[in-house]
Amino acid sequence: MENRLLWTGATLAAGLVANIVGSGVVLLLYLVETR
């Protein structure tokens, strides 16, 4: 049970990090394009 909770937390954390990184990349590309 505890292992499953750990996996859920790790998956959510990875998803959050990927979301932030993706947003950062999109924002960076947008800034470069509009310069």
- Go through 4-29 and write b for each residue having 16 or more CB atoms within 10 A of its CB, e for each that does not: eeeeeeeeeeeeeeeeeeeeeeeeee
Summarize pLDDT for 7-23 with one digit per residue, the tens: 999 999 999 999 999 99
- As a whole number, the mean pLDDT across the chain is 95
Q: Residue 35's pLDDT is what?
A: 85
pTM of the model: 0.63
Q: Residue 32's pLDDT is what?
A: 96
Residue 2 — pLDDT band, cuts 50, 70, 90?
confident
Report the C-alpha gap between 26 and 22 in whole angstroms.
6
Q: What is the rounded (10 degree) CA torsion for 8, 10, 14, 16? A: 60
Angle formed at CA 24 by CA 30 and CA 14, multiple of 5 degrees: 150
Q: Residue 1's pLDDT is what?
A: 66
